[in-house]
Amino acid sequence: AGESSNVQEGFQDSNNSFSTDEPVAHEDSASQTCFICQKQRKRHHGREVRLAVNGFKTFENLKSAATEQNDVKMLEKLSSFSDDTKIPYHKCCKDQYLRDIYKDDNSEFLRKKKVTNTAYTILCEMLEETVVKNSECLAVKSLCNSKKVVNILSKYGHCCSYTTLEELETELTFSTVNSDHVCPEDIQRRPDLNTGVAFDNFDRFVETLNGKDTLHDTVGIIFQDIVQNPDPVSLESSSPSANENSTIDEIVHGSFPEFSINTPKTIKRKRRAFEEVTFEMHPFTKKLKITTWSQLDISELNKAPDNLSMSKQLDVTWMLLHKYKISNVPMWVGFHSKILIDDSRVQKVSYLTPINESPTNHSTVLKTLELSQDIANECQAPYIQITYDLAIARTSYCIQAQESPRFDNIFIHLGAFHIELAFFNAVGTFIEDCGLSNIMTECELIANGSVSGFISGKNYNRCKRLHSLVALALQQLHFEAFLENKQLTVDESVFEYLTTFLAHEDVSPQVQHAETQRLIQSYEEYTEDTLDGKHGRTAQFYAMYIDFINLYHLFI
């Protein structure tokens, strides 16, 4: 009898390779037995299973699995064979052994498999809920840019074909550009809602070898507060006009206006491509000059906020939680998300029509300022804020100063992301030769080749993670020196309070335990002495670094 079809052919081994089993010749099978079960003949699911051999691959797979699980008996059996020996075995015995070996949850192979299956299941559920049921397959086309994915969804009846989606996308684009407003349709033109814009560079995936004449676009976004309790009477309608609505209905639902019987039939050619939207660009021919502004008296505004001391106490509390290894304590952002009830306003973000010019051109910067003013006028707002990166902001400041008072109702500022990058660059310069980077390399926090990017502040994700880790470790060492210098011991009630601290959320979280407050206040006084150099220059240097990172935490 042949081998059962229920046996899993090509069982996947631990090295993710598929084995190919070679049956033993009939004349040799009489003198050989399976080295796993020590039987010559075996039945599996009611059918006889023949012996098979597979030399080097099976030998290595079984040896690797036995070594990983420290199976001494299997290793002794394998050691009796040489590498070039064809080992006789039943395929079902080999598969069952590998399944038993890797059924442990601690197996790296099963962990990866479980994570992959879980991620795939979550992705399928997300697509089903947010895409298929909401008929948002145009978004799928835009996100994955895959004709095959869209056609698979179309095959199962969830959307139309890829070609039809492209036609709909083109027609919807035509209907969108016919609008007389600069603001997108989902932005409400109201003065009481905080509205702002931001412009940045966007590469169009075409680059030259020498880096010159690379194609760039200027893409703008608009963000606005979402109304929590909208009043339908007071809202100014930001929906399309009647003509626009009729056009959209014709496109989406296929309802075309009725034609007279006597009207001759004309075949309208389909629009396969969309002609790009071009703005009327006004050249800025003036030579930019560096000007100065008269500084305003901000002494009344430059006062420490009332919650600054509370924020510093929370920073020390976060350090103490890590110092005494309280369970389930995240990093700084996660820590505050656990204890703070965030009642901030939620904002919506929409795209503006892109400008097909480099954002650093003077005419492009001038156009972005004009578009920002148009948005402010549509929203009936007296002013508007606009966010640039440093290269564009430098030009916009000069244009605003030279064209004053034309653009005086625009508040230009750098984005928080660019401010953080500049701050990381300054901090990296401060610690460049102090030895911290060497310690981080030895601890395998960072590779040797990534140190320069960390010091220069160019790698944002690495900087925000590593600076917080290093500052946290240094602050714990500083706290140990504080306890030793002051000859203090932490009261048991402080440990109990820290254990339950993360269990409470509040709009304005505070440290409400008297003993913990006294400990934190005493440590803050010791820190001030360290910053003044009373405990040595080295301690002062690293205390300054910790203070810089705490300042970054306050910023974010």
d(CA 178, CA 247): 10
Q: Residue 471: its pLDDT value, please?
A: 95
Q: Contact, 17 vs 57, CB < 8 A?
A: yes
- Give the long-range contacts of residues 42-48, CB within 8 A, separation 24 or more: 42/90, 42/92, 42/93, 44/3, 44/4, 44/6, 44/7, 44/90, 44/92, 45/4, 45/6, 45/7, 46/4, 47/1, 47/2, 47/3, 47/4, 48/1, 48/3
Give the closest residue to 95 by CA, choosing from 8, 16, 6.
8
pLDDT score of 300: 65
CA atoms within 13 A on the CB side of 444: 0
DSSP conformation letters of 296-332? P--TTT-S--TTHHHHHHHHHHHHHHHHTT-TT---H
CA dist 500 and 503 (Å) reads: 5
- One-letter amino acid identity for 387? T
Q: Residue 47: what pLDDT?
A: 79
Instruction: Return the bridge partners of 48, or none.
Output: 43
What pLDDT does residue 465 have?
92
Domain ranges of the chain: 22-103, 189-233+254-302+345-414, 311-342+418-555
Q: Report which of 369, 372, 375, 376 is spatially closest to residue 399, judged by C-alpha positions.
A: 369
Running along the chain, 556 residues long, what does each successive block of 10 average in pLDDT? 39 40 54 79 79 70 78 80 71 78 64 82 75 63 75 77 78 69 85 90 63 72 82 46 46 42 52 64 79 65 76 92 91 89 86 84 91 92 91 90 89 89 93 90 89 90 93 95 92 90 86 92 94 94 94 88
Tokens linked to 93:
């015995």
pLDDT of residue 138: 66
